[in-house]
Amino acid sequence: MKLTILGTGTSQGVPVIGCRCEVCRSTDQRDNRLRTSAMVEVGGNRIVIDAGPDFRQQMLRTGVRTIDAILLTHEHKDHTGGLDDVRAFNFVDYPVIRPVDIYATARTITTIKKDFDYAFVTNKYRGVPEMRLHEIDNTQPFRVGEVEIVPIRGKHSERFEVTGFRIGPMAYMTDFKHLVEGEIEKLRGVELLVVNALRFKPHDSHFCVDDAVALVNEIKPRRALLTHLSHEIGLHATSRERLPEGVELAWDGMEIEIND
């Protein structure tokens, strides 16, 4: 299994428009963060997790020509706003048109149908994105090809649910503030845990570093990466030194090979 970290930033990305803090002015590329997303290559399948506003740029960086599926963690725009750009994958082998399979909960699918209504009308105009929507039950595993995916249920806040995904020895969670009771058992035995940590100070709708580290200490993966990082996390070069052994700040473009 190969995991590529496509983006590690929050809804505003880093640098933040108009901000002059030392992180937003940093010349260290590890401090330059596109919106949070990842790509998993396993069992002959290429699966992207979330397609935010930077989806096009992230796909161009990887150089891939095909993807097999997109998993959506929730409906917020920093995780879904780039879905129009699946058109490029639809038409890469034109005149053969290849729809992209999208997997999400019912609530997220409702938002996708509203926000990209032109892709789902009866009489579509030529060139609209072709998406096949698959509603998942986040209490049950599902498959992309032969790859089993186990949803991890969480709360972004009291108003919003969020879904993480376990794929074999790797689990990916972003925008979590709480896990639903009992869900932590689905994480037992993971080798790599990727989890959100907005900043060091507590936040009312995201894990902070202490929250993420507490989960890591409970699960005890071999390696943990922190993602969905705001500019308040500080400079990568110095903030990484504040983390316990086995916990790292993820950065855009990071590639990890995992024995599956």
Taking only the tens place, the pLDDT of each residue in 243-254 is 999 999 999 999
pLDDT at position 125 is 86
Taking only the tens place, the pLDDT of each residue in 34-58 is 999 999 999 999 999 999 999 999 9
Say how far apart CA 172 and CA 194 lie, in whole Å.
Answer: 5
Say how far apart CA 235 and CA 246 lie, in whole Å.
Answer: 19
DSSP secondary structure of 113-178: HHHTGGGTSSSPPTT---EEEEE--TTS-EEETTEEEEEEEEESSSS-EEEEEEETTEEEE-S-SE
Instruction: From 169, 137, 170, 135, select the one nearest 153 (Cα to Cα).
Output: 137
Cα distance from N-terminal residue to C-terminal residue, the chain: 6
SS3 of residue 252 by DSSP: coil
pTM, 2 dp: 0.97
